[in-house]
Amino acid sequence: MVAVALLAGMPLSCATNPVTGEKQLSLVSEQQEIGLGKETAEEVQQSIGLYPDPRVAAYVDGIGKRMAASSERPNLPWQFQVVDDDAVNAFALPGGPVYVTRGLLTHLNSEAELAAVLGHETAHITAKHSVNQLSKAQLAQLGLGLGAALKPSWAKYGQLAGAGLQIMFLRFSRDHEREADDLGFKYMQAQGYDPHAMVTTFQTLDRVSQSGEGGRLPAWLATHPDPGDRVAAAQRRIETQQAAAQPGSGTGGAGQAVKRDEYLAAIDGMTFGPDPRQGYFKGRSFFHPEMRFRMDFPEGWKTLNTHQAVGAVAPAKDGVVQLGMAKVGLSPDAALKEFLAKEGVQAATATPLQIAGQPALTSGFTAKTDQGEEVSGVVAFFTHGGRTLGALALAPKDKATAHEAAFRGTLESFQALNDPAALNVQPARVQLVTVPSEMTVDAFNARFPSTVPVEQVALINGVERNGTFKAGQKAKRVIGGMGPSGG
């Protein structure tokens, strides 16, 4: 893990917290904090990927940087970016990088709501919450590779060379979450945003959590433990601020920016939900239109598709098979050598074979985990579409033979994808419409049908299921996509 490497050899020291002014134990200097954030940001881009819309990227970055400029640490190399995942979440890395998911953007309804989220994440950095977590050795990590999904101790073998990367999520304490809410409130106020947007933002995030929606990343409440009633706390902040406001000061909500229409215009046309262009399952068959291949996974195994690998875990969680990309520029021979050079791996003799008509190299191997468990596996590297791909099977040593046929069947099923219907699938997208007259959610959905359930239409528009839309307002519907069946 990146953090472990960077923390090695760091001297103990005390530093002044830029928000509280108090001295606190720190293992990480500001330059080390920035370096950690920069290196982890590279992992984010490789393992999740950024949403490919420069217009949206510039919009989010501009809002975030204006808020960061008025914070206690304006000179950090701030960076606000959108990751290409349909989960509703946001996260901050040490030293300046802040990320929101496209899933979050499709669920918010104003620039002020986005500012509330960006202010909260900015606060985690300005108050050095991540540095405190590092100093206290309280890192938690989310394994995005199937090896980690199967068993954490298998992670270093379950990640193909250069694939199966992991992203670091820090779980902050309730006190840190409260402080981030307080600071975020201050930052959005300093930029003239209506603080009531913090209330509606927390209400939306809570509704998303209750709905069970999820992408490849965890949802907001999985990485932001709720410190009690956030909605009530935000309302109390507004009341306190209004009570202290001087007449004519412009605070307290009147005249403050919401920028609903500007925000909705920015996300009009944004990808909604899972993007089938990045791969999708129909039953146990996996199709990847962009990379033009299909592959079948074992019947009854739990499948998972991430940005960097696709695979399946056996029902008893005693076997995994996955496919991922090797490092750019590596040949199958070089990729195999790099994989087998991993610490603790004992390799068998490499054997040539054919996969989808292309030459491939495969090798069995055994290894011991850090906990002393013996595992056996088979790895194969081959070329498809100008890139080296790697397939991996992994199981406890005494279960490897039982899963051998499943791995062989998966590997042999790999083939080029030529079906036009599969190649031309497109994701669902957000589309703005103008509500012609006041109408209920059901009436709106009948007039402007969506390819998602009516409950989700209400949720993404920030209205209750039995609520109404106002005449003349802009509202979101979802069009296109593959529908809930995946086909």
> Quick one: pLDDT band at residue 367, thresholds 50, 70, 90?
confident
Query: pLDDT-based confidence at 170, cuts 50/70/90?
Result: low
pLDDT of residue 252: 39
CA nearest 3: which of 144, 137, 148, 165?
137
- Residue 26's pLDDT is 54
321-351 residue pLDDT tens: 999 888 888 899 999 998 888 877 888 888 8
Position 164 pLDDT exceeds 50: no
Q: What is the pLDDT of residue 72?
A: 93
Task: Identify the band that residue 162 occupies on the pLDDT scale cut at 50, 70 and 90.
Answer: very low
In tens, the pLDDT along 448-479 reads 999 999 999 999 999 999 999 999 999 999 99
Tell me which of 20-24, 34-38, 413-417 is least confident: 20-24
Residue 421 in this model has a pLDDT that exceeds 80: yes
The residue written with tokens 């899933």 in the block is: 103
Q: Taking the domains of the chain in order of start, what are their residue ranges?
A: 2-272, 297-423, 428-480
| Candidate from 67-71, 170-174, 260-264, 301-305 with smallest mean pLDDT | 170-174
345-352 contact pairs (CB < 8 A, 24+)? 345/157
Record the tokens describing residue 331, joined without a space: 């040949």
Residues whose CB is less than 8 angstroms from the CB of residue 268 and which lie 6 or more positions away in sequence, other chains included? 430, 431, 432
| Residue bearing the bigger pLDDT, 368 or 383 | 383
Position 12 scores a pLDDT of 41
**pLDDT band at residue 7 using 50, 70 and 90 as cut-offs:** very low
Mean pLDDT over 117-144 rounds to 67
In this prediction the pTM is 0.82
Tell me the C-alpha distance between 80 and 203, whole Å.
Answer: 23
Neighbours of 11 (CB within 10 A): 7
pLDDT, residue 44, reads: 83
CA–CA gap between residue 254 and residue 462 (Å, rounded): 21
Longest Cα–Cα distance in the chain:
81
Cβ partners under 8 Å of residue 385, min gap 6? 291, 292, 293
pLDDT above 50 for 99: yes
**What average pLDDT does the chain have?**
82
Rounded average pLDDT over 210-223: 69
CB atoms within 10 A of CB 424: 9
> pLDDT class for 273, splitting at 50, 70, 90?
very high
Mean pLDDT of the region 111-121: 96
Residue 122 corresponds to which tokens in the numbers above? 């900015």
> Higher confidence at residue 13 or residue 178?
178
pLDDT class of 129 with cuts at 50, 70, 90: confident
Fold of 297-423: Protein Transport Mog1p; Chain A (3.40.1000)
Identify the residue whose tokens are 């909500």: 253
